[in-house]
C-alpha cells in the first residue's frame, strides 16, 4: 500500500523536461519582453524611440540576454544606438560577448563595433586601437581583420591631423 502511494506521488511530480517547458513558456515573446524586442531588432524595424524601449527591456531581462551571443550582439548594438542612459550597457554586452563567447561568429564583429564606438562616441582612440589589436590577434584570418588593419593605419595617421579629413570624407559618402 505504501509502495503504491509512493509510485502515485512520484508519477504526479513534473519531470525536469516539463519544468523546462514551463520556463520556456514563461519567456514567450510579448510586446513587453526582451524576446519581442530581439525579434524586432532582427527585422530592423525599430524607431529611435524603440531603441530606448528595447534597451530598457534588455537591461531589465539581463539574465536572459547574457545567455546567448546573438542576444548579446543585438542588445549591445541596440543599447549603443540609443541616446539614453543605456549606452554603456551596450558596451558591456559586447565586451561580455567577446569574453564569454570568443569563438562565436559575432565576437570579431563585436570587437570592431567596440573600437568604432570608443573612437567615434567616447573619443577614446587609444582604447579603440586596443580593441582593433585584440581583433587582429584573436582572429587574424577573419574577413574583418583587413578592416581592422586599415582602421589601425587610419588612426596612426590621426597624429598628423589627417584622420579628420578621412572621417569627413567617409561621413559624406
> What are the residue boundaries of the structural domains of the chain, listed by start?
30-104, 105-173
Segments in the chain below pLDDT 70 = 1-32, 122-124, 157-173
The reported pLDDT for the residue numbered 67 is 93
**Model pTM above 0.75:** no
pLDDT single digits (tens) 109-130: 999 999 888 877 766 677 888 8
CA atoms within 13 A on the CB side of 130: 7
Contact (CB, 8 A) for 105 and 84? no
| Measured distance CA(39)–CA(54) in Å, rounded | 10
Torsion of CA 47, 52, 54, 60, to 10 degrees: -170
| Measured distance CA(3)–CA(1) in Å, rounded | 5
Residue in this structure with the C-alpha cell 548579446, named with its chain if needed: 72
The reported pLDDT for the residue numbered 158 is 55
The reported pLDDT for the residue numbered 173 is 60
The reported pLDDT for the residue numbered 149 is 82
The reported pLDDT for the residue numbered 51 is 86
Amino acid at each position: 500500500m505504501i509502495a503504491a502511494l509512493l509510485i502515485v506521488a512520484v508519477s504526479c511530480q513534473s519531470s525536469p523536461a516539463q519544468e523546462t517547458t514551463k520556463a520556456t513558456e514563461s519567456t514567450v515573446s510579448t510586446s513587453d519582453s526582451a524576446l519581442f524586442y530581439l525579434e524586432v531588432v532582427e527585422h530592423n524595424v525599430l524607431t529611435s524611440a524603440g531603441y530606448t524601449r528595447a534597451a530598457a527591456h534588455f537591461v531589465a531581462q539581463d539574465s536572459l540576454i547574457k545567455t546567448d551571443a546573438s542576444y548579446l550582439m543585438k542588445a549591445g548594438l541596440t543599447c549603443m544606438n540609443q541616446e539614453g542612459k543605456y549606452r554603456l550597457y551596450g558596451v558591456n554586452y559586447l565586451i561580455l560577448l567577446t569574453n564569454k563567447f570568443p569563438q562565436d561568429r559575432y565576437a570579431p564583429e563585436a570587437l570592431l563595433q567596440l573600437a568604432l564606438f570608443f573612437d567615434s562616441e567616447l573619443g577614446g582612440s587609444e582604447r579603440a586601437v586596443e580593441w582593433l589589436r585584440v581583433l587582429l590577434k584573436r582572429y587574424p584570418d577573419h574577413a574583418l581583420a583587413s578592416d581592422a588593419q586599415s582602421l589601425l593605419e587610419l588612426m596612426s595617421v590621426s597624429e598628423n591631423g589627417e584622420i579628420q579629413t578621412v572621417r569627413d570624407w567617409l561621413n559624406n559618402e
